[in-house]
Amino acid sequence: MRKLNKKAAALMLAAALSVSGLAGCGSDKVDGTAAAATVGDTEISMGTANLALRYEQANREYSYYSMSQGYGLDLGGLEWDEETDGKSSGDQLKEDIMDELQQLYVLKSHAEEYNVSLSDEETQEISDKAQEFMDANDAASLEEMGIAKENVEEYLTLYAYQTKMEEAIRAGADTNVTDDVAKQSTVSYGVISFNSDETDDDGNKIPLEGEEKDALKEKAQALLDAWKEADDAATLDISEYAKEIDEDLSGLTYSFGDDDEILDTKLKEAARTLSDGELYQEVVEGETSFYVVRMDKTYDPEATEERKTAIVEERRQTLYNETLNGWVEDSSLELQSAWKNTKVTDKHDYLFSTQADAGEEE
């Protein structure tokens, strides 16, 4: 499921609207009062749907323009007519927006279950921001797109509910995390890859063999030998020390627990045999690299607390995602002809007025 796009609403809710106008050209006038779709018994108007669609289209166009300018390139605009797997970029955008609107309306429909509502002050703020948006944008362009103040209010209201609903749902997650679950060990290690630059048919790098691989292991062995003899072997900073031995070596410090899927398995197996400050006495051959390993802390309390925080965040996000996904699966979405006939093509431009003010042409 596509994640809700908060960027557009966040921009619109800024104290001073960052978009001073949307200019549309080449599109037919939209009846904003027509139905775009229904979610359950709730009707989504074309005005609200087209606001979400054209605002995101403008956002993506502007982001693409800014990126190309940042690289000193003139790549033109996004190619909305370009097809991938039989679907144009414009049609994919429409699908994304309707998925997003379905999620927003579904969340709002469950608000009473979580005692979520908007205060009079919040409703008034939304009304004020909607009026600011209307005043800041070209009236003719908004009329062409079928966008009225009530559509902007609806869009902002949906996001206000989404924010509150996400907070309320996430609050129900289990926040009890024991040390047994979150325990972290911290290691420092030197590393040198024995992968070549060549790839196989699946795009995986092909490991070196024979003398080339042996030469790399000798560099790792040189680090291990020097590390053993160092006066501060138990505490030295490996990131700098590894480079002093050989430029091809890198030194890293990393914390891991039982659920870690990043560190090489062989490295972790070697590390778990060590006590604090102890250096593994052999070069470890992992899946793609040679390692020289020191156990810094078999139990790192600071890293463990950070992992507890991360686990709670993962639980909260999982609860929110699973709850929302379940509601969406149980809901119905029916697209209406007005939305089906809406086009996002290379002939339709929706530009930030800040671009137009800078001399950009539609």
Q: What are the tens digits of pLDDT across the range 305-362?
A: 999 999 999 999 999 999 999 999 999 999 999 999 999 887 766 653 433 343 343 3
To 10 degrees, what angle do helices 149-170 and 301-330 make?
A: 130
DSSP 300-349: -HHHHHHHHHHHHHHHHHHHHHHHHHHHHHHS-EEE-HHHHT----TT-E
Tokens of 9: 């609403």
H/E stretch holding 143 reads helix 139-144
> What does the alpha-carbon distance between residue 329 and residue 352 come to, in Å, rounded to a whole number?
35
Predicted confidence at residue 350, as pLDDT, reads 64
**Mean pLDDT across 268-274:** 98
pLDDT digits (tens, 9 = 90+) for 55-97: 888 888 777 767 766 665 555 567 888 888 889 999 999 999 9
What domains are there in the chain, each with its CATH number?
Answer: 7-174+313-357 (no CATH), 185-298 (3.10.50)
Q: Does position 211 have pLDDT exceeding 80, yes or no?
A: yes
Q: Which residue has the higher pLDDT, 354 or 202?
A: 202
- pLDDT confidence of 217, banded at 50, 70, 90? very high
What separation in angstroms does the CA of 318 have from each of 23, 171, 323, 331?
A: 39, 12, 8, 20
Quick one: DSSP state of residue 287?
Answer: S
Report the range of poorest mean pLDDT among 17-21, 40-44, 210-214, 222-226: 17-21
The model carries a pTM of 0.81
pLDDT digits (tens, 9 = 90+) for 146-182: 999 999 999 999 999 999 999 999 999 999 999 999 9
Predicted confidence at residue 265, as pLDDT, reads 97
Decide if 224 contacts 245 (C-beta within 8 A). no
